[in-house]
Each structure stands twice: as C-alpha cells, then as structure tokens.
Amino acid sequence: MAKLLFFGMLIAVSSCLSIRDFSLNASNESNDIENVPNHTDYAAVARYVVHKSEWASMGTLSTLKTINGFPMVNIISVADSGKDEPSTGHIYFYLTNLDYTGQDLMKNNKLTAMFSNDQDLECSKNGVDPMEPTCARIMISGSAVELDKSSDEFQFANKSFLSRHPAAATWVETHNFYLCKLDISQIIVLDWYGGPHYVSTEDYYNANETLNGFLYDKFLSNPRQSLDQRGSVNNMHNENKIKIKIEKGNDKVTIEF
C-alpha cells in the first residue's frame, strides 16, 4: 500500500516536472491543453498566455487620414522574458514611428493588445476553435511607456526581447525603433464559458506564485533568480496536494509532505 502510494507520487512528481519544463520554454510548449492553469485562476491564465506569446495583435485608434478614428490593428512582437526564462508579466515591445501603430500612439497613447492561447496552436491542435471561449484569450489595455536607455530595465528588456526575436537585431537600430513597456490599465481574461473576467494588475503581477506547476517571477523582485534556485510546485493532477523539492544539480528529487 505504502509502495503503491510512493509510485503514484513519483508519477505525479514526474508529470509535474515535465509540465514545469515545458512551461519554461516558450518556443517549445507542449500541445497538451491541460497545461493551461485552472481556468478559475484567471491571473495565472493571463500570465501563462502572455508568457508564451511572441507577438500580440495590437489595436490603436487610427490617425490615417482615410480611417481617422477607426480602430486599427497590427502585429507587434512582444517578450515578457528572455527565451526559456521565467515570466515577468511585463510586456516589452519595440515600436517605430515609421509604422502607423507608433504614429497612432503619439497622438493617443491608448492601446489594447490581445493574446490568444492559440499562439502556439495549443487550441487548434486540441480541436478547440480559437474563437471558442475555452481557447483562452487575454485583452490587455494600457499605454506604451518608452524605457530609459540608461536603466537596468532597458538592458533586461532589450536582452530578453532580442533573445526571443533575433531578427529584430537588424531592424531595431536602422529604423529608429524604441523599446517600450505596457503600462497596464485593464486586464480581461476570457478562458471559459460565462463571459469575461477582470484581473487586477496586482493579482496579475503577483501570479509569480507557484500555480498549477507553473513558476512565475516578477521583474525587479529578483529578475535574475535562476530556476535552479526555485523549489516547490503544486500537484495539479491529484486531489491531495503534496510539496516536493527538486535538486536539479545531481538529478535528485526530495519529496516532502
């Protein structure tokens, strides 16, 4: 009996480990839709989808003569962390005023960015149409704030962005791009039936907690904290919650009750 329990827990632990590893690899996410945090953990779902996103649909109010005042959209590359690094939740992106999105924001600095859980085809590959409420989408409204080139955050954001978007190295310098962060006004999560949910920015950024096996971090709390220094994850598959400690150095797994 004790032996069975032990094996059951090993299975639970190893499934946590694989989910955890996938969650840290934005370029190599598992297609298992069960990886999405519990749909009632709205802040965690928002962080999950933002973290995996390499780009967002960004809407602005158009300043183009022909459609002045119309909503206008664009694809804007984003990064909330470096490749394979923990999520910060902060949305960093480069803009240029050669582009209509940059021009629109100069006139009216209000935007809404949409992130879909189908970014990596996680919905489609599981037979869920991207428009169905069960394919999570996050709508984040706010304004673009240019980062000060001399700040630590600029260095962090630039490095993170370029690690996810290596091609940007060629256009950032030559086309007067400037690095921005989204100053968030409102977060809407639509991840299940029953309409949209509003998540406070505080809850969103504090979803650095261990949630359903996903580890999150928050910029400035400890941006360089190595994953190896982090320990406990929750067990998302069992009713009984167990805490485990992982020692990555020599492949050891210590289980604590």
Ligand X SMILES: *[C@@H]1O[C@H](CO)[C@@H](O)[C@H](O)[C@H]1NC(C)=O
Interface ranges with ligand X (CB under 6 A): 21, 25, 27-28, 38, 40, 84, 158-159, 162, 206, 208-209, 218, 221
* Burial 212-242, CB ≥16 within 10 A → b, else e: bbbbbbbbeeebeeeeeeeeebbbbeeeeeb
Nearest approach, Cβ of 81 to ligand X (angstroms)?
A: 13
Nearer to ligand X, 14 or 27 (CB): 27
Nearer to ligand X, 85 or 104 (CB): 85
CB neighbour class for 130 (10 Å; exposed up to 12, middle 13-18, buried from 19)? middle
Nearer to ligand X, 104 or 122 (CB): 122
- The answer to whether the Cα torsion of 42, 111, 80, 217 is positive or negative is negative
What DSSP state is assigned to residue 238? -
Alpha carbon 209 to chain centroid, angstroms? 14
Contact 233, 210 (CB under 8 A): yes
Nearest approach, Cβ of 8 to ligand X (angstroms)?
A: 17
Nearer to ligand X, 143 or 206 (CB): 206
Nearest to 208 by CA among 221, 199, 198: 221
Nearer to ligand X, 25 or 109 (CB): 25
What DSSP state is assigned to residue 124? G
Nearest approach, Cβ of 162 to ligand X (angstroms)?
A: 4
Nearer to ligand X, 112 or 158 (CB): 158
Nearest approach, Cβ of 137 to ligand X (angstroms)?
A: 19
Nearest approach, Cβ of 33 to ligand X (angstroms)?
A: 12
Nearest to 48 by CA among 235, 225, 216: 216
Nearest to 27 by CA among 170, 207, 204, 163: 163
Which residue's beta carbon is nearest to the bound ligand X? 221
Nearest approach, Cβ of 193 to ligand X (angstroms)?
A: 14
For the beta carbon of residue 99, count every other beta carbon within 10 angstroms.
14
